[in-house]
């Protein structure tokens, strides 16, 4: 078996302040992350605001050009954004956004928007495109009679279905879903999550599912990586990470997630202080300023991801063995 | 569409008449007839003759040709070139932006009439020169407008989405960005055409525009001015034509913009919360007086199609030191209920019935003056978005102090000291320094702490928190919920927590009210309701939460709009257990401390 569909090696993204008068340090949104997504696999990325999870998604899609490290898709390095090869590759990757309102163009019919990918990447006739469009609408649970309607005629959940249909119109191999259900009511969330799970199974999609909602990731994904301030804190199969969270940050995150069932609740660990600024991250372990297990040596080197418990479960904490 | 046809018809008529001038049975507009000079009426000339005895009506219509041709041509040229430059400048930024935008700024620095005079003097008067001058004059406006619109459009997700599909830049610009900037550009066209008609007339009036004897409205005004005292009507006709044309153009462009805008919003009634209380629906409680007692609260909003009720017959009781959660999906009316209790309903909404007693005093029937004294005093509210609830130009410490001084007469220095103590109380580290910070210098979690500090500044007995943690990260949410629980315990406040998260309810609240489509569908102690939900909606909601091992199940459909509520049980269309019996409105039944609004609850829970 060859390498996974998407491979990121020590990928890095710094945003420099823009403009002639701009001052200050660059913001390192993603700082040396390794990630792979195999064909048909769903990888969850969890973390809070400023963890760099959305940036990582755009790096893997090639929408942003990494300022360090490399991303390979299907064995090939990602081409430069905007080049012909890059544009051709768009047909094989899709993205679903968080905001069901801002991600659709209010002034074009939904049919025209979902059709865009086909019009750009195929030579199909209008009738053939229409046939594929109808099929895609049925697949995501929308009425194909409404191809000519405008986005404002649809509810939030239906719009997310439209966003999914648009991303999947060219039958891509890889889908990045950036908080696709965070803006939806819980009753609608479950429908959309179910649809994504079905599509992934039926189409053999590789998926990167970005979310701050850990229970959803647990249901939808095979593996998960937990990010904090641009770095991976912990990664592994969802069952293992959720059953035995081993990085202090993962534990704090899980313990903070409100749970219906009192039996599932972990002892609440409130993180002290405020998240550090990404322009000036702490030395060594970036989590150490808020970690109750921190020691002076945590400030010295960036802790590498090490195997913990099993080969697939890895934790970036030098004290993982002591504290677990 | 109705708004479009009227201005379109007037503009169309004006253009049509001008275009058909050669075919109309008009007199030759340049043939002079000195015998009938300034005649008010001559057969065949209903508007009379001008100073050279030329037919006024004919000149008016032929004049429209030159006036409108100049106006439309220059506006069109400026619109096409200006929008293109603005699009490119806004999309590519860098050098293109510098050339297009700064170039436009240079043109803007010239007084328009002076520029026109200069060019006309250099090139000589004439229709071609006029079009050139006017196009250059209107160009910067179009560049500026489209540039600004492109800048705001290019950050939108839907533009990113098309880029992610691999669309080429021209396709993105033409298919996605252009339609989204069309509205402001159309308005700019209307302004340009209207002002071009005026400027053309002005320049022709000065003898710098259309060359006589070709008729134009400006030349006609110029001619009529000389004979104003003998034949005032000669001045009226071209001025009238000018005014009508400009007004019609403005109307048309407004209408076109409205029609072209597919975003909707105008048609659907906005959801507003109106609370009404129907007293006596619940048996009078024999228990000691609760802190907050809400009964039959009903809110109404008048919308074009009739009256909607975003809160319908809401009732609950909250004792001091306890937490009651109100849960429901978007559109269930939970926030509107809170604003009604606080007396903060939007002007369109009104409380139609019900009572809400705080320590026995009916909040809904008290004069606004008395209620204002309570707000921020005995009862306080915390909102979802602390950024928009805090004033960005004042230091947070001053805002907390202001909250204190709004209700108590204390010296400024003491209020400031109390503010710092409050910031410390809500867990802000280094409160002296933070008190001097502006809201944008604080994180979302800290801003919410400041909001809570303001809310508890005057030791309220009732705190209503409307989605206080929805915009926050989970670790921050956990800290804020802990803070609220601690304050409630230590200060003995009653807390009403409005949320859509059942997990939050389970962890924080003692009692819960489940709302659906403005009504209470279930109510009771949290442990009891979550362990043994009686209403199918509560059950479905719990099953949709992805916490457990079972695959979460969604609820089909969406909450109906307030003007489309089913006549019977409002949840019936989405309910897996609905039968014919559900077509009549179910009453709220009380059972063992729980209340449920479902006709089938007995058989379903059997």
Q: Are residues B233 and B341 in the same domain?
A: no
B112: Cα separation from own chain's centroid:
35
Give the Cα separation of A31 and A59 in Å (integer): 12
Q: Is residue B450 part of a domain?
A: no
Residues 376-435 of B with CB under 8 A from A: 429
Question: ∠ at Cα B298 (B293, B302), nearest 5°?
Answer: 155
Backbone angles phi, psi at B278, to 5 degrees: -105, 100
As given in the structure block, the two tokens for residue B462 are 């009732």
Q: Are residues B240 and B292 in the same domain?
A: no
Judged by CB atoms closer than 8 Å, whether chains meet at A215 and B504 is answered as no
Give the Cα separation of B165 and B452 in Å (integer): 45
Q: Is residue B102 part of a domain?
A: yes
Q: Are residues B277 and B222 in the same domain?
A: no
Report residue B274's pLDDT band, with 50, 70 and 90 as the boundaries: very low
The residue out of B226, B260, B294 marking a domain boundary is B260
CA distances from B522 to B153, B287, B526, B585, B599 (A): 44, 21, 11, 15, 12
C-alpha gyration radius of chain A: 21
Higher pLDDT, B444 or B566: B566
| The pLDDT of residue B446 is above 70 | yes
**Cα dihedral B275, B277, B282, B288 sign:** positive
Q: Are residues B239 and B295 in the same domain?
A: no
Q: Is residue B17 part of a domain?
A: yes
* Percent above pLDDT 90 for chain B: 24
Instruction: Indicate the domain borders of chain A.
Output: 248-324
Q: Domain of B218? A: 2-26+44-260
Across the strands, what pairs with A210?
A45, A178
A230 touches chain B (CB under 8 A): no
Collapsing DSSP states into helix, strand and coil, what is residue B568?
Answer: coil
CA distances from B412 to A24, A203, A293, B399, B579 (A): 38, 67, 43, 12, 65
Judged by CB atoms closer than 8 Å, whether chains meet at A152 and B265 is answered as yes
User: Mean of the pLDDT values across residues B24-53?
Assistant: 76
Give the Cα separation of A106 and A284 in Å (integer): 46
Decide: B239 and B47 in contact? Cβ < 8 Å.
no
Q: Are residues B277 and B172 in the same domain?
A: no
**Separation in Å, CA of A311 to nearest CA in chain B:** 25
Q: To which residue do tokens 């449920």 refer?
A: B596
Give the Cα separation of A125 and A128 in Å (integer): 5
Q: Is residue B445 part of a domain?
A: no
Q: Are residues B150 and B16 in the same domain?
A: yes
The domain tally of chain B equals 2
Q: Are residues B341 and B479 in the same domain?
A: yes
Q: Are residues B583 and B494 in the same domain?
A: yes
Give the Cα separation of A100 and A96 in Å (integer): 9
**Cα dihedral B78, B84, B89, B91 sign:** positive
Higher pLDDT, A216 or B558: A216
**Separation in Å, CA of A36 to nearest CA in chain B:** 20
Q: Residue B213, preceding bond cis, omega within 30 degrees?
A: yes
Q: Is residue B436 part of a domain?
A: no
CA distances from B152 to B87, B157, B181, B575 (A): 12, 11, 9, 42
* Percent above pLDDT 70 for chain B: 95
Closest CA to A247 of A298, A200, A205, A210: A298
Question: How many Cβ atoms are within 10 Å of A42's Cβ, its own excluded?
Answer: 24
For B109-181, strand residue ranges (E) read none
Residues of A in contact with B544 (CB under 8 A): 186-187, 189-190
Name the DSSP class of B49: B
Q: Are residues B472 and B587 in the same domain?
A: yes
Decide: B423 and B397 in contact? Cβ < 8 Å.
yes
Give the Cα separation of B197 and B568 in Å (integer): 61
For each of chain A's 324 residues, which pLDDT tens digit applies?
568 999 999 999 998 876 656 667 788 899 999 999 999 999 999 998 889 999 999 999 999 999 999 999 999 999 998 899 999 999 999 999 988 888 899 889 999 999 999 999 989 999 999 999 999 999 898 888 888 999 988 888 899 999 999 999 999 999 999 999 888 888 888 889 999 999 999 999 999 999 988 889 999 999 999 999 999 999 999 999 999 999 999 999 999 988 888 777 777 888 888 788 878 889 999 999 999 999 999 999 999 999 998 889 999 999 988 887
Higher pLDDT, B534 or B170: B534
Q: Are residues B207 and B92 in the same domain?
A: yes
Residues of B in contact with A99 (CB under 8 A): 157
Residues of B in contact with A187 (CB under 8 A): 329, 540-541, 544, 554-555
Q: Which of B136-140, B234-238, B419-423 ranks highest by mean pLDDT?
A: B419-423
The residue out of B209, B241, B260 marking a domain boundary is B260
Q: Are residues B544 and B584 in the same domain?
A: yes
The residue out of B205, B238, B260 marking a domain boundary is B260
- Whole-number pLDDT of residue B325: 96
Closest CA to B303 of B517, B563, B519: B563
Q: Are residues B180 and B286 in the same domain?
A: no
């Amino acid at each position: 078996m060859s390498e996974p569909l998407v491979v990121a090696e020590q990928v890095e993204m710094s945003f420099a302040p823009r403009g002639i008068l701009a001052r200050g340090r660059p913001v390192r949104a993603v700082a040396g992350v390794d990630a792979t997504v195999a064909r048909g696999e769903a990888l969850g990325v969890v973390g809070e605001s400023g963890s760099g999870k959305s940036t990582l998604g755009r790096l893997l899609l090639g929408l942003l050009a990494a300022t360090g490290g490399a991303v390979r898709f299907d064995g090939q390095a990602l081409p430069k954004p905007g080049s012909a090869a890059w544009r051709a590759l768009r047909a094989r990757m899709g993205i679903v956004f968080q905001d069901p309102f801002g991600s659709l163009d209010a002034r074009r019919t939904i049919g025209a928007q979902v059709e865009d990918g086909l019009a750009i990447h195929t030579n199909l006739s209008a009738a053939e495109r229409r046939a594929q469009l109808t099929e895609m609408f049925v697949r995501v649970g929308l009425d194909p009679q409404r191809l000519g309607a405008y986005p404002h005629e649809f509810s939030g959940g239906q719009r997310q279905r439209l966003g999914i249909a648009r991303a999947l119109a060219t039958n891509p191999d890889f889908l990045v879903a950036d908080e696709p259900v965070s803006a939806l009511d819980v009753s609608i969330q479950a429908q959309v999550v179910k649809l994504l799970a079905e599509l992934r199974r039926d189409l053999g999609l590789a998926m990167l599912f970005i979310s701050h909602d850990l229970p959803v990731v647990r249901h939808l994904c095979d593996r998960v990586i937990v990010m904090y301030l641009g770095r991976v804190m912990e990664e592994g199969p969802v069952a293992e990470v959720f059953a035995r969270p081993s990085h202090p940050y993962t534990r704090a995150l899980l313990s903070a997630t409100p749970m219906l069932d009192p039996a599932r609740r972990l002892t609440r660990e409130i993180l002290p202080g405020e998240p550090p600024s990404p322009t000036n991250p702490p030395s060594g372990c970036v989590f150490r300023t808020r970690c109750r297990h921190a020691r002076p040596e945590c400030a010295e080197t960036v802790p590498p991801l090490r195997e913990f418990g099993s080969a697939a479960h890895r934790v970036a904490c030098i004290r993982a063995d002591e504290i677990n | 569409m109705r708004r479009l046809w009227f201005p379109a018809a007037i503009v169309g008529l004006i253009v049509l008449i001008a275009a058909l001038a050669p075919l109309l049975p008009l007199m030759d507009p340049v043939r002079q007839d000195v015998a009938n000079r300034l005649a008010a009426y001559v057969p065949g000339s209903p508007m009379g003759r001008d100073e050279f005895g030329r037919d006024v009506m004919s000149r008016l219509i032929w004049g429209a040709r030159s006036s409108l041709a100049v106006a439309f041509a220059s506006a069109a040229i400026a619109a096409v070139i200006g929008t293109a430059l603005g699009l490119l400048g806004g999309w590519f930024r860098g050098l293109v932006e510098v050339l297009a935008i700064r170039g436009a700024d240079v043109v803007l620095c010239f007084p328009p009439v002076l520029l026109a005079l200069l060019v006309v003097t250099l090139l000589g008067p004439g229709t071609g020169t006029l079009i050139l001058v006017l196009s250059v004059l209107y160009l910067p406006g179009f560049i500026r407008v489209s540039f600004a619109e492109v800048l705001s459009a290019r950050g939108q997700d839907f533009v990113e989405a098309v880029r992610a599909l691999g669309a080429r830049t021209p396709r993105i610009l033409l298919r996605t960005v252009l339609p989204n900037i069309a509205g402001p550009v159309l308005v700019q066209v209307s302004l340009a055409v209207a002002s071009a008609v005026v400027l053309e007339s002005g320049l022709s009036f000065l003898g710098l525009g259309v060359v006589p004897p070709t008729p134009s409205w400006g030349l006609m005004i110029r001619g009529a001015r000389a004979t104003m005292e003998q034949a005032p009507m000669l001045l009226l006709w071209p001025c009238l034509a000018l005014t009508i044309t400009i007004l019609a153009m403005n109307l048309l462009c407004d209408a076109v913009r409205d029609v072209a805008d597919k975003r909707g919003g105008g048609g659907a009634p906005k959801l507003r919360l109106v609370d009404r209380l129907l007293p006596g629906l619940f048996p009078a409680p024999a228990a000691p007086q609760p802190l907050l007692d809400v009964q039959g609260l009903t809110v109404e909003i008048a919308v074009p199609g009739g009256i909607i009720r975003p809160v319908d017959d809401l009732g609950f009781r909250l004792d001091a030191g306890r937490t009651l959660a109100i849960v429901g999906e978007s559109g269930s009316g939970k926030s509107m209920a809170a604003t009604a209790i606080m007396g903060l309903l939007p002007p369109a909404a009104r409380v139609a019935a019900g009572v809400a007693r705080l320590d026995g005093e009916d909040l809904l029937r008290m004069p606004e003056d008395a209620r204002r004294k309570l707000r921020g005093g005995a009862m306080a509210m915390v909102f979802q978005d602390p950024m928009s609830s805090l004033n960005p130009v004042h230091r947070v410490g001053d805002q907390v102090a202001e909250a204190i001084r709004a209700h108590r007469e204390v010296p400024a220095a003491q209020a400031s000291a109390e503010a710092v103590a409050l910031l410390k109380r809500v867990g802000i580290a280094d409160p002296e320094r933070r008190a001097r910070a502006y809201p944008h210098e604080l994180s979302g979690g800290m801003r919410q702490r400041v909001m809570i500090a303001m809310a508890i500044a005057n030791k309220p007995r009732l705190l209503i928190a409307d989605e206080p943690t929805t915009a926050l990260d989970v670790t921050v949410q956990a800290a804020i919920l802990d803070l609220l629980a601690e304050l409630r315990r230590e200060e003995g406040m009653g807390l009403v927590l409005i949320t859509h998260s059942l997990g939050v309810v389970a962890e924080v609240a003692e009692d819960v009210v489940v709302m659906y489509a403005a009504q209470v569908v279930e109510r009771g102690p949290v442990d009891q309701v979550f362990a043994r939900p009686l209403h199918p909606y509560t059950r479905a909601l719990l099953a949709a939460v992805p916490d457990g091992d079972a695959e979460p199940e969604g609820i089909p459909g969406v909450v109906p709009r307030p003007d489309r509520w089913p006549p019977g049980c409002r949840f019936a269309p989405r309910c897996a257990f609905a039968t014919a019996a559900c077509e009549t409105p179910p009453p709220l039944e009380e059972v063992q401390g729980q209340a449920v609004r479902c006709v089938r609850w007995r058989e379903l829970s059997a």
